[in-house]
Chain A
């Protein structure tokens, strides 16, 4: 890390960076969406502040308890969660969003030290750093309150530990960025992260379902892990403080020096990546023309779908190709099954068997309804993923009525597929649902689907929002869509409950099926009306559609 001196010109560059970020923020407030964004950021900020202060208080109390009861070595139990959160949260959040492009900096005459520091500083005020710093401050105060002799030493150790966390975070980010710069690997990593999150959901249920025995095995595993833990940064920071509390200053100093050695190693690795970036490393996603003629393949004709016109078949095929290439969308497909399994494994709060275990006949309708609820993301924003492709629909000779019909058919097929999956899962995890329940559920699902498609088509044309199927998170639908969707779901569930109560009152379950079919007929009439007005509405809204969806 030799030569990391800041020249007077660099100070101007830092000031310029800070100013441009401030100006970007001020300019973002010119639009209503920008102001809404600020409001949501304030709310999120307050939530984080609450988590920060609350966490700091809790961790501080625990630190006070450990140190005052001569168990300072237990500080590692507090430092490990801080460390894990600090490292995993930003990576997780970054995987779902676009990342910082360092090539933007390279066109300016920045020296390497300035570039290095800007890369370290960029995002160092992120939620993980803010929360982590708060929590460490809480721990330091707790230690100081319990044993004022080691307060300053604890502050020094925790400060180094905090800086180490920032550097590790930057280092992980710089290396992960190498993969995240490419769309495919970004999507794959995103799916892996989500699978990890989902797998966490199973830890509790699985533990309570299978585990009533092997506490000794857990204790043995922990004792085997302890020597390794003591050599890692949280363990070293805890040892540096606890040994000082026990007046073993040589050991404390040794642990502290090892912590600093970690810092140097991290800086070396970080430097390796940032130097490559500084020298213009190209992480472009653009494909280079291949020289091998062997890769060329014959063009396969598009899908032939019986009974459908060529444009409707083409759009149907295009929708399925889009969905099949979207990791996040495929991931949501398995969620209803995951939820059913979770319901099967999770005991109720009273310790009895879960709700669906006690009423397994409801498992199929619950799973099917959840599938539809997930699908509304697509149904209410039909053109969201088309981006600038929306222009093509306007210059093509195909009517919007056909375009929407094709998209609706594709979404209905997805729902049908999901319903089959849910049925299979219910049969395997609970028990095969009664034919009457299946029929009533399917009739209710059909009614709900038609209503959602009708409203979804209207909202897709009137309140579009550009989305990327390949990106997780931070893709909010328009507020209009969110509120309308919410209202529609309440109305559908209300009607559904009324139908089921009526059927129950008369003791005839087939009545629910009949009522749902009657409601479906009315919904189909409304759907036809919407499709007939689609072209008119699309023409009236074309400027909004194009400007919202085709923007860069």
Chain B
């Protein structure tokens, strides 16, 4: 059986008395486009930081491509790409200089790094301002540059923390095209996002974290079936479930699945009467 792309066992992170991530057991198979979802403050960013070496776990074990992260940090890092929350950019370089720099940090020779930097800038539509510093880029341009930097060495796994946050439709389309191309070439992608429509369209598998605990994990179909079965078992005959429901004959959307699992539906009667 081939090694899992990502696996965690009892992954836990505490900040003083607060348990941000508790006993999380993740299984991500190579080639999956994996969406990691959860409400604000659920522990998504904490988990992805631990998976990428930006944060030490308080307990538990992380394996990437069959290697434990704790003992094989350098060899794992050579095979993964990361776009962290802060994008990890160097503001006083130009886009080309930054990509050149990142490529060489991953061990590419000068010529290869420069060639790939040029191709990535073209693909991301960032080649029009060769002299502009990264600090002067718009937010969307910075996101595209961060993704370009994360893939310049051809990683086997790509970790993305909120890649579509604050990105317009055009930039978002470029990012999605890049990610789908990577999946077609056999890479694994692990992303966190609040934009459930995008996750539903892109991801084959999903995990949901809520209050630090993993509450669901599987393919979209598996999650849908699980939620429908649970709802049917819990409701008396003829009663309607809480939260938004699909029209007759339609499948549950990821948003509906998500809300059923985390229980975030707001009662209709809870109104702000003063709102126009």
Q: Which residues of A contact B (CB under 8 A)?
A: 183, 285-287, 289-293, 295-302, 304, 310-311, 313-315, 317-318, 321-322, 325-326, 385-392, 394-399, 469-470, 539, 542-543, 546, 550
Q: Are A396 and B105 in contact (CB under 8 A)?
A: yes
Binary CB contact string for chain B from 99 to 135 against chain A (1 if under 8 A, 0 otherwise): 1111011111111011101100100010111111101
Q: Are B130 and A297 in contact (CB under 8 A)?
A: yes
Closest to B81 in A: A395
Give the contacting residue for A299; candidates B90, B117, B129, B136; CB below 8 A: B117
Residues of A within 8 A of B56 (CB): 539, 542-543
Complex CA gap A550/B91 in Å reads 12
Residues of A within 8 A of B266 (CB): none
Known: A286-B136, A388-B87. A295 touches B130 (CB 8 A): yes
Q: Are A397 and B78 in contact (CB under 8 A)?
A: yes
Q: Is B88 an interface residue (CB 8 A)?
A: yes
Min distance, Cβ B223 to any Cβ of chain A, angstroms: 30
Residues of A within 8 A of B90 (CB): 318, 322, 386-387, 389, 392
Q: Are B92 and A392 in contact (CB under 8 A)?
A: no
Q: Closest 9 CB pairs between A and B? A: A388-B86, A301-B110, A314-B104, A392-B88, A391-B88, A397-B77, A299-B118, A301-B114, A286-B138
Q: Is B191 an interface residue (CB 8 A)?
A: no
Residues of B within 8 A of A298 (CB): 118
Give the contacting residue for B74; candidates A322, A391, A397; CB below 8 A: A397
Count class of interface residues, chain B? 35 or more
Q: Is B273 an interface residue (CB 8 A)?
A: no
Complex CA gap A388/B55 in Å reads 15
Q: Are A311 and B105 in contact (CB under 8 A)?
A: yes
Known: A286-B137, A289-B125, A539-B56. A388 touches B110 (CB 8 A): no
Residues of B within 8 A of A286 (CB): 136-138, 141
Residues of A within 8 A of B104 (CB): 302, 310-311, 313-314
Residues of A within 8 A of B97 (CB): 302, 318, 321
Residues of B within 8 A of A387 (CB): 90-91
Complex CA gap A322/B78 in Å reads 26
Residues of B within 8 A of A386 (CB): 90
Q: Is B11 an interface residue (CB 8 A)?
A: no
Q: Are A317 and B53 in contact (CB under 8 A)?
A: no
Complex CA gap A298/B100 in Å reads 12
Min distance, Cβ B39 to any Cβ of chain A, angstroms: 22
Known: A395-B52, A398-B105. A302 touches B110 (CB 8 A): yes
Chosen A-B contacts, 5 in total, with CB atoms closer than 8 Å, are A287-B132, A292-B128, A389-B91, A470-B92, A546-B86
Closest to B121 in A: A299
Interface of chain B residues 118 through 175 with chain A (CB within 8 A): 118, 121, 125, 127-133, 135-138, 141, 149
Q: Are B92 and A321 in contact (CB under 8 A)?
A: yes
Residues of B within 8 A of A311 (CB): 104-105, 107
Complex CA gap A432/B172 in Å reads 63
Give the contacting residue for B110; candidates A297, A304, A398; CB below 8 A: A304
Complex CA gap A326/B73 in Å reads 34
Listed residue (A326, A395, A469, A546) with the most chain B CB atoms within 10 angstroms of its CB? A395
Give the contacting residue for B102; candidates A287, A321, A322, A392; CB below 8 A: A392
Complex CA gap A160/B64 in Å reads 72
Q: Is B75 an interface residue (CB 8 A)?
A: yes
Closest to B86 in A: A388
Q: Which residues of B contact A (CB under 8 A)?
A: 52-56, 73-75, 77-78, 80, 82, 84, 86-93, 96-97, 99-102, 104-111, 113-115, 117-118, 121, 125, 127-133, 135-138, 141, 149
* Known A300-B96, A310-B104; 7 more pairs at CB < 8 Å: A293-B128, A295-B129, A311-B107, A321-B92, A397-B73, A399-B74, A469-B92
Complex CA gap A546/B55 in Å reads 9
Min distance, Cβ A532 to any Cβ of chain B, angstroms: 16
Q: Are A299 and B96 in contact (CB under 8 A)?
A: yes
Give the contacting residue for A385; candidates B75, B92, B111; CB below 8 A: B92
Give the contacting residue for B55; candidates A291, A314, A398, A542; CB below 8 A: A542
Complex CA gap A310/B104 in Å reads 6
Q: Are B53 and A395 in contact (CB under 8 A)?
A: yes
Residues of A within 8 A of B93 (CB): 318, 321-322
Min distance, Cβ A469 to any Cβ of chain B, angstroms: 7
Q: Are A183 and B125 in contact (CB under 8 A)?
A: no
Give the contacting residue for A395; candidates B84, B92, B127; CB below 8 A: B84
Closest to A287 in B: B132
Give the contacting residue for A302; candidates B53, B84, B113, B137; CB below 8 A: B113
Min distance, Cβ B52 to any Cβ of chain A, angstroms: 5
Q: Are B107 and A397 in contact (CB under 8 A)?
A: yes
Residues of B within 8 A of A313 (CB): 104
Residues of A within 8 A of B129 (CB): 287, 289-290, 295
Known: A311-B104, A395-B52, A395-B77. A389 touches B96 (CB 8 A): no
Residues of A within 8 A of B53 (CB): 394-395
Give the contacting residue for B89; candidates A297, A389, A394, A397; CB below 8 A: A389
Give the contacting residue for B114; candidates A302, A317, A469; CB below 8 A: A302
Give the contacting residue for A550; candidates B82, B86, B136, B137; CB below 8 A: B86
Residues of A within 8 A of B52 (CB): 395
Complex CA gap A302/B77 in Å reads 22
Residues of A within 8 A of B80 (CB): 395
Known: A311-B105, A318-B90, A386-B90. A285 touches B55 (CB 8 A): no
Q: Are A317 and B101 in contact (CB under 8 A)?
A: yes
Complex CA gap A297/B90 in Å reads 21
Min distance, Cβ A138 to any Cβ of chain B, angstroms: 46
Q: Are B138 and A388 in contact (CB under 8 A)?
A: no
Min distance, Cβ A464 to any Cβ of chain B, angstroms: 14
Closest to B132 in A: A287
Complex CA gap A451/B107 in Å reads 31
Known: A289-B125, A386-B90. A183 touches B136 (CB 8 A): yes
Complex CA gap A322/B89 in Å reads 13
Q: Are A395 and B100 in contact (CB under 8 A)?
A: no
Complex CA gap A302/B118 in Å reads 13
Residues of B within 8 A of A390 (CB): 88
Q: Are B137 and A287 in contact (CB under 8 A)?
A: yes
Q: Are B88 and A301 in contact (CB under 8 A)?
A: no
Complex CA gap A298/B119 in Å reads 10
Q: Are B74 and A299 in contact (CB under 8 A)?
A: no
